[in-house]
Structures are given as C-alpha cells and as structure tokens.
Amino acid sequence: GENVEQHPSTLSVQEGDSAVIKCTYSDSASNYFPWYKQELGKRPQLIIDIRSNVGEKKDQRIAVTLNKTAKHFSLHITETQPEDSAVYFCAAPTRNDYKLSFGAGTTVTVRA
C-alpha cells in the first residue's frame, strides 16, 4: 500500500517458535491498526486490531504493539502452530478515514 510498509514478505518458523511482522505507516493522524489473516483460497479475516490510545493488545497467542512516535506497529504470534500458516496483512487508515491502506502482506509458513 502507498502508506503502509510491511516486513518481512516471507517468514518461515519452526512450530512452537514465535513470529513477528512489522509495519510502518506514514500518516501521523492514523489511529486504527488492524491485522488480517488470509488462508489459501479464503477471504481476509480480522484477527486483531489496536487503536492509538493503547500501546499493546493481546488475544491468546497473538498480540499487537504500537509505537506512535516511530509510526510502526507489529504483530506477534507465540507458540506457532501449523494452522498459523497464512498470509498476514497489516493496514492503516488515511487521514480522511474513508480508506484502509494495506501492507503488501507476509507469507508465514510454520514448519512441523
């Protein structure tokens, strides 16, 4: 996306290890940061999101951290499992909040 950069583009981890994906955004007014998971042949689904009034949010094995000063946010997956294998997208809204800009995606492969 034009406003959101996502790294790495591919990530291979051993089952049980952690995975971290990082995104940076350019619009300092952005205040909402969702993460989507897209399994092969399926639609993107929201897995977690964070708003700018908090620095971290957790949901079981996944967590998102936000650094507004540096304008970056990260997805953390702990104790990875084979079902975590998918493409993950981060996103951030533009100034007028009518559009979400998506990162290019990270293909995560969990090796058994």
Partner 1 sequence: KAGVTQTPRYLIKTRGQQVTLSCSPISGHRSVSWYQQTPGQGLQFLFEYFSETQRNKGNFPGRFSGRQFSNSRSEMNVSTLELGDSALYLCASSLSQATDTQYFGPGTRLTVL
Taking the least distance from each CB to partner 1, the nearer of 46 and 54 is 46
Rule CB under 8 A: choose which of 64, 75, 89, 108 binds partner 1.
89
Rama region for 41: left / alpha / beta (φ>0; ψ in -120 to 50; rest): left
Does residue 14 touch partner 1 according to CB under 8 A? no
Rule CB under 8 A: choose which of 7, 13, 26, 31 binds partner 1.
31
Q: 30-47 burial by CB neighbour count: b if 16+ within 10 A, else e?
A: beebbbbbeeeeeebeeb
N-terminal to C-terminal alpha carbon distance within the chain: 32
Nearest approach, Cβ of 112 to partner 1 (angstroms)? 25
Does residue 53 touch partner 1 according to CB under 8 A? no
Does residue 94 touch partner 1 according to CB under 8 A? yes
Burial class for 54, CB neighbours closer than 10 Å (0-12, 13-18, 19+):
exposed
Nearest approach, Cβ of 80 to partner 1 (angstroms)? 22
Contact residues for partner 1 (CB under 8 A)?
A: 1, 31-32, 34, 36, 42-46, 49, 51, 89, 93-94, 96-105
